[in-house]
């Protein structure tokens, strides 16, 4: 399958990847192109900004969570019928698992998908040293996949000279981005602020796109994308290869339709698009509701999903919505299956501190208190394994939070890959699976399968 594609990477976080990616996406949309966008790695917020531009949900590509075949399948599936696929890198280009490997790095995604890469180089405070910096990235791996360079925060006077220097190294200079003070996206403790919080975001991105049309070689970038190699197989063939894996849970289909409540509002908004796709493939109908605004759960639910987000920014509203808290607590007492992660897990506690350290009553399904810490408590990729009756098939996951709990759970052992660090986590009862780890269902389809099996049993029991 021929998918024109490009990956925008950088040497470090804070180099302008997200802003330039969004401006570039806007420029492509303005040209009338149908664009698919992707974020490398376990990121929720950057794809929200992509969505504001292209109008549909951006997807993630992660080689820690999913096999190489699965990553190529997800690229194929999400880019079907699109003119071009644009991927945004994660952290520094070669930065992967444990900080000492390239596994799950932006480079790894480029390598698995054979995607040409454009390196975004923050030029602030450098001139000739930029050539040495770029040369190091080109030569670190035998095939770096880097085919072009964009200079960020560069003056128009310096660019022509740097273009000549860089192209002598056999890589294309594809333009520069001047200092754009009016298009800065602010950050907070979990990363960027949400798109809805950026004043006049659409206007700012339109203004940035207009600048990029003048300073980037967009035709050259599209030419590079068009020259990306053909992927090894069609989408259907890739899916069949996943189904053919021994005892593959990808093949599960619930024998009856299942209505699954999905918490979806400003407090709970960290979603993987592909988690929804797999749940729906397995027979789930996702029914959105708001723990902030709605008075109770939707009717006739067979299960409930509480994903992450920013509940700590909405502690007062969540506490004041007592009828919703009671509705969730009573549903759980009656045995409704629930999967909750990070922010959703925090919401299930008896009490949660908000971002200012003020305590608020929450659902009360999990004994204990969530409290604010002054640093990232646990961060990065992990592998989960049951403490009781360990299984060979581990669950890949990740954690990223500044809050902690007096009762994190003991059902699973979380282990850091390429490290000796581990800790216990997750509450796993007959109907509740809840903890700080975020899960990506394509990494272990047994997780959504088991959840939906419990939802089916609950439905049959209540009917």
Active site residues: 342
Residue 365 CB partners (closer than 8 Å, separation 6+): 328, 329, 332, 348, 349, 432
Q: Where are the beta strands (DSSP E) in 278-431?
A: 284-289, 303-306, 308-309, 338-341, 349-353, 359-361, 366-372, 378-386, 395-401, 403-405, 412-415, 422-425, 427-428
Q: d(Cα 438, Cα 346) in Å, to the nearest integer?
A: 13
Half-sphere exposure of 61 (CA within 13 A, CB side): 33
The H or E element containing residue 45 is helix 45-54
Q: For residues 448 and 463, what is the distance between their CA atoms, to the nearest angstrom?
A: 22
Q: Is the separation of the CB atoms in 391 and 355 below 8 Å? A: no
Distance in angstroms (rounded) separating the CA atoms of residues 52 and 56: 8
3-state secondary structure string, 50-104?
A: HHHHHCCCCEEECCCCCCHHHHHHHHHHHHCCCCEEEEECCCCCCCCHHHCCCCC
Evaluate whether 133 touches 126 at the Cβ level (below 8 Å): yes
Secondary structure (3-state) at 162: helix
Q: What is the DSSP string of 408-453?
A: --SSEEEE-TTSS-EEEE-EE-SSEEEES-EE-GGG-THHHHHHHH
């Amino acid at each position: 399958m021929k998918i024109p594609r490009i990956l925008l990477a950088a040497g470090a976080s804070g180099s302008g990847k997200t802003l330039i990616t969004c401006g570039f996406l806007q420029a492509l949309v303005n040209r009338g192109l149908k664009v698919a966008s992707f974020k490398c790695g376990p990121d929720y917020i950057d794809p929200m900004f992509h969505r504001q531009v292209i109008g549909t949900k951006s997807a993630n590509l992660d080689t820690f969570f999913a096999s190489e075949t699965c990553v190529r399948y997800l690229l194929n599936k999400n880019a079907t019928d699109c003119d071009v696929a644009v991927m945004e890198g994660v952290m520094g280009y070669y930065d992967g698992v444990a900080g000492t490997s390239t596994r799950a790095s932006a480079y790894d995604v480029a390598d698995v998908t054979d995607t040409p890469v454009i390196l975004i180089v923050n030029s602030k405070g450098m001139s000739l040293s930029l050539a040495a910096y770029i040369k190091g990235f080109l030569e670190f791996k035998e095939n770096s996949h880097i085919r072009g360079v964009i200079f960020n925060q560069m003056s128009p006077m310096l660019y022509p000279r740097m273009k000549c220097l860089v192209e002598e190294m056999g890589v294309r200079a594809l333009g520069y981005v001047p200092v754009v003070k009016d298009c800065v996206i602010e950050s907070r403790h979990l990363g960027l602020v949400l798109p809805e919080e950026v004043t006049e975001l659409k206007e700012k991105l339109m203004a940035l796109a207009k600048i990029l049309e003048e300073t980037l070689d967009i035709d050259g970038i599209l030419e590079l994308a068009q020259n990306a190699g053909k992927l090894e197989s069609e989408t259907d063939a890739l899916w069949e290869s996943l189904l053919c894996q021994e005892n593959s849970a990808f093949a599960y289909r619930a024998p009856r339709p299942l209505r699954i409540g999905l918490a979806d509002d400003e407090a709970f908004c960290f979603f993987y698009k592909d988690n929804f796709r797999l749940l729906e493939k397995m027979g789930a109908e996702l029914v959105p509701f708001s723990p902030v605004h709605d008075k109770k759960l939707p009717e006739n639910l067979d299960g409930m999903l509480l994903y992450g987000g920013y509940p700590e920014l909405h502690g007062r509203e969540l506490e004041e919505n007592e009828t919703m808290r009671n509705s969730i607590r009573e549903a759980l007492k009656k045995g409704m299956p629930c999967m909750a992660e990070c922010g959703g897990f925090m919401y299930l506690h008896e009490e949660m501190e908000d971002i200012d350290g003020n305590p608020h009553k929450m659902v009360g399904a999990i004994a204990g208190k969530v409290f604010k810490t002054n640093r990232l408590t646990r961060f990065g990729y992990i592998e989960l394994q049951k403490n009781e009756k360990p299984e060979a098939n581990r669950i890949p996951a990740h954690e990223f939070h500044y809050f902690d709990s007096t009762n994190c759970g003991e059902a699973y052992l979380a282990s850091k890959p390429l490290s000796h660090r581990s800790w216990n986590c997750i509450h796993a009862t007959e109907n509740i699976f809840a903890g700080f780890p975020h899960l990506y269902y394509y990494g272990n389809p047994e997780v959504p399968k088991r959840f939906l099996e419990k939802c089916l049993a609950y439905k049959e029991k209540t009917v």
